[in-house]
Structure 1
Amino acid sequence: MTRARRYGPTLGLLLVLAVAGCAQAPATTGAPPVDGTPSAGTAPSSPTGDRIGTLFVGGEHGSRACTASVVDSPRRNLLVTAAHCVQHPLFGRLDDLVFAPGYRNGQLPYGSWRVSQVVVDQRWTERADPEYDVAFLTVEPVGGREIADVLGGFRLGTDQGFGLPVSVTGYPNEAEEPITCSNRTSEQSSTQERFDCHGYTDGTSGSPWLTAAGEVVGVIGGYQEGGDTERTSYSITFDHRVSELYRRATA
């Protein structure tokens, strides 16, 4: 692994020095789908599209890092993103993370929501295992309301296999609006999947892979920490690994 393509500048500089060469490439199976074509600024408007937003490091005026989204949870306060966006074995958890749902053109239509807890698998914490590159984040209430009370949350979808039609919305750091692209997932390995579409550059790690039913079935991360080029993205397969982590995050 030789890049920090999906990170914001602060996190990427630190982590790429620490984890270069950490991942082994899983075998690719089958032919990838034809590349999709992204559209800028076409994420669905409130409330569904605004469940997706950007993570800032050091407060809402800090560096943009990755993308995250709101997921259903009993306490109505949970996000999902990639583990490499928020935690690393050498540097620990990133401090002062805030989430800005629906961010566009410097505007925060729903304010900023401070991250109070990060839950990642121990195998990620100890050795940055790309098979566990997913994280659940708890955010603090704002004005006495939990984030899912304001925006709702996407359902978590697990054990749905490969070849799913999904839409992926993410926030490239060089853009002031998100991009969205739709395509089918394909099998990268038995535990990793891929999504082919141009434009998913720095800042798009953690972008949710959404089905038409509104279920999150992946996030950009996993193999190559989400991808070594802007045209192919990866996610760990959402299976028992993610179900167990969600159970811990909501316990």
Structure 2
Amino acid sequence: MQGTTTAGVRRPGGRAAAVLGGALVLLASGCSSSSSSSTVGSGSGSAAPTAVADVVSGSPSAWSQQRLQQALAKHGGTSHPAKATSGNARVGAIFDHDVSGDHFCTASVVNSSGKNLLLTAAHCVHGGQGGSYGSDLVFVPEYRDGSAAQGEWPITRIFVDQSWIDSSDPDLDVAFLALGTVGGKQIQDVLGGNTLGIDKGFNRVVHITGYPSDASAPISCFNTTTQQSDTQMKIACTGFPGGTSGSPWLTSFDKATRTGTVIGVIGGYQEGGDTDDVSYSPYFGGKVQALYDQAVSQDG
């Protein structure tokens, strides 16, 4: 069990780690929408209007059944150092302030019309019931040994569902983050983005990459998801400690387009799990779709 507590952004347990610095952005009072956003560093949150954007449809899988079985036989359920691949390039660590600070969670680039969205766990960036938004945060993709070869991308807005804010609902332990530009470019222009997968079922082979808070490089795991409940998934991946909250559950990776489908993140039940060997994710359904639509509407 990971017991480190952040400033307003998590409770004991789960896979987030370290301490967030900087000011916390407070939720605006009187919000009645189904989900809420925060402009990081502005000192105030804002209620969000209804959004209407559509999720980009996924690409067909280029992974044969034989290849899937080979991967499962080699790495099924066991963590191992993550190789540098086009899919892993879109995964990075969330840092407090800059690359010299603490990295405490994981996030990944998700395809959007604005080309600037990340996907992570809500508990990484908002404390849930009685908590607040984190601020002064950056995303560092492909982080290795203190190096930010792909830059440090400022997190400018945070989108979490209102039910997470009101009651720490584990079924909505999901967040989308909007990024500022680096060198005049959006992050998706540099790295591409994976497709958000909605209602893809409970039993899928997925590849998970995450950044342990006490390591300078990411780890990966390959296994089949199972159903924890009607609204939660789980997977056996040994050795996924604090810092791996928000790690994407990637399936159906197409080598031709270098695009996969993200169907979950480490989070949800027990904020992702109270041991290092079994991880959980909310099942991505209509409410996650609505949250994504809101994020696209406001930042796409």
Q: TM-score range by the shorter chain?
A: 0.7 to 0.9
The structural deviation recorded for 1:91 is: 3.3
The structural deviation recorded for 1:37 is: 1.2
Following TM superposition, the consecutive aligned residue runs of length 4 or more in structure 1 with deviations greater than 6 angstroms are none
Taking the aligned partners of 1:91 and 1:225, their CA distance within structure 2 comes to 15
CA RMSD of aligned residues (A): 1.7
Tell me the TM-score normalised to structure 1 length.
0.87
Report the AA paired with residue 119 of structure 1. Answer: F
| 1:36 to 2:77 alignment | yes
- 1:9 corresponds, among 18, 27, 32, to 18
Structure 1 unmatched runs, 5+: 12-32
| 1:58 to 2:89 alignment | no
Report the AA paired with residue 66 of structure 1. Answer: C
Provide the secondary structure at the position in 1 that maps to 2:166.
helix
Cα deviation, 1:1-41, whole Å, max 9, x if unaligned, reads: 97334122215xxxxxxxxxxxxxxxxxxxxx996111113
Cα deviation, 1:132-152, whole Å, max 9, x if unaligned, reads: 100000000111100000000
Taking the aligned partners of 1:182 and 1:235, their CA distance within structure 2 comes to 15
Aligned to 1:130: 170
Aligned to 2:273: 227
| 1:105 to 2:151 alignment | no
Greater mean deviation of Cα atoms: 219-228 or 57-66: 57-66
Cα deviation, 1:45-104, whole Å, max 9, x if unaligned, reads: 2x3311000000122222111000000000000000000000124331111010000001
| 1:94 to 2:94 alignment | no
Report the AA paired with residue 162 of structure 1. Answer: F
Cα 1:146–1:64 change in 2 (3 A) is same
| 1:216 to 2:225 alignment | no
Aligned to 2:247: 207
Aligned to 1:192: 232
Task: State the percentage of identical aligned residues.
Answer: 47
Tell me the TM-score normalised to structure 2 length.
0.73
Report the AA paired with residue 275 of structure 2. Answer: T
Aligned to 1:23: none
Taking the aligned partners of 1:204 and 1:228, their CA distance within structure 2 comes to 12
- 1:121 corresponds, among 148, 161, 183, to 161
| 1:245 to 2:291 alignment | yes
Aligned to 2:53: none
Structure 2 unmatched runs, 5+: 4-11, 21-71, 254-259
Aligned to 1:30: none
Aligned to 1:16: none
